[in-house]
Amino acid sequence: MDIDTAAATAPERHPVRFTASGSEYFRIWIVNLLLTVVTLGIYLPWAKVRKLKYFYANTWVGGDALDFHGEPARMLRGTLIAGVFLIAYLVAGAFSGWAELLAAVAFVGLWPALFHASLRFRLANTSWRGLRFHFAGDRAGAYGAMLPPLMLAILPLALAGLTVDPGSRKPSPLASGLIGFGMLAFAASFPFFLWKLRRYQHDHFTLGGLQTRLTARAGSVYGVFLRMLGLGILAFVGMALVFGLFASLGLIGRKAGASVAILTLLGLFAIGGVLLFNILPQSYLQVRLQNLFWSATGNPVLRFDSQMKLGPYIGLQLRNFLLIFLTLGLYWPFAVVHTRRARLEAVTLETRGSLDALTRTGGQENPAAVGDMAADLFGMDIGL
């Protein structure tokens, strides 16, 4: 498909549909959970493939579903590597600060390469209308996107471990300063690092000869986080005012029957606290960042448009939280399905020209490199 011709063509809109059901996924989830526990985690790649195949087969774009072709036996290698990293870092801290530092350096040095391999593996094993996707980013780009935030997040903690008094194991002033500096620096730079990581990902999604680009800027991501911070401050102030109002009305005090009022008030504030400090900020970030990143992803031939609504999504997450709590976790797979449906069905694919023309072009230009993924990816999938 000629790009100049496509750019002059009126776009066709193809909404995403998600047809999975909570009851079907519950059966998959419970079997996966039991077998993963029984096999001490060895079954995890097979569980992951079952989940991905079910979700992909129920994700429809333009009348055709996605498919996943990964092999669990090959994915086991990546899972074991990720597990070794985690165990090594946790165990090293129990021996000495130097061992923890070396484990942190190894983690920082190798994780971007695993991340890059995982992206290539996942995309190369995903298909739509008979075409395999491809991730065109290189390993150097992964290091450029991930190495600075990993160093800023992990190395100050590891260095602080070197300054802890071996006798008391209490952090020294230097250790506390390093930890505090690391936390503040990471928090201040997190929106930039997130933008850089998403740019690395969204700049290299490829279908056939069509590669996407991310046009969103880092300032837009900072705007989302600053607005979330402002909402959090307002919510906290509002909650404090309501609490003060109840206290001034005498609902909290040593009076007859006050215990019922106190318990009721504490229950309401517990729910309100979960809403204000967990569900509200998390939902706000998920909605605003999805809309920002995916609506800014595309090329002259195809692009995405995400229009997820914040109010309904917050209501969905609050309902999910309450039902998961009331069912002691058994509602979890239903919550996963409902959340995925809300996020996927907010997205629309826009194409300049028909899907048949798009896939014909992709079939002609589908890179031969997809076939050599097996040679250089080692079956990596680290759960991304």
Q: Provide the number of structural domains found in the chain.
A: 1
| Residue 308 lies inside a defined structural domain of this protein | no
DSSP 15: E
| Residue 374 lies inside a defined structural domain of this protein | yes
CB contact at 8 A, 379 and 75: yes
Q: What is the pLDDT of residue 362?
A: 63
Range of the domain at 178: 66-212+354-384
Helix axes 97-124, 139-162, angle to 10 degrees: 160
| Residue 270 lies inside a defined structural domain of this protein | no
Confidence of residue 384 (pLDDT cuts 50, 70, 90): very low
Confidence of residue 341 (pLDDT cuts 50, 70, 90): very high
| Residue 223 lies inside a defined structural domain of this protein | no
Whole-model pTM: value is: 0.82
| Residue 144 lies inside a defined structural domain of this protein | yes
**How would you classify residue 367: left for phi > 0, otherwise alpha for psi between -120 and 50, otherwise beta?**
beta
Give tens-digit pLDDT for 275-298: 667 788 889 999 999 999 999 999
How far, in Å, CA of 101 to CA of 57, rounded? 44
Q: Taking residues 326-330, what's their average pLDDT?
A: 94
User: Length of the chain in residues, anyone?
Assistant: 384
CB contact at 8 A, 103 and 88: yes
CB atoms within 10 A of CB 31: 13
Q: Which two tokens stand for residue 32?
A: 């996966």
| Residue 50 lies inside a defined structural domain of this protein | no
Give tens-digit pLDDT for 118-134: 899 899 999 999 888 99
| Residue 147 lies inside a defined structural domain of this protein | yes
How far, in Å, CA of 299 to CA of 349, rounded? 12
Amino acid of residue 219? G
Give tens-digit pLDDT for 140-152: 999 999 988 888 8
DSSP-H helix ranges across 164-309:
173-202, 218-248, 258-274, 280-295
Residue 44 above 50 pLDDT?
Answer: yes
| Residue 184 lies inside a defined structural domain of this protein | yes
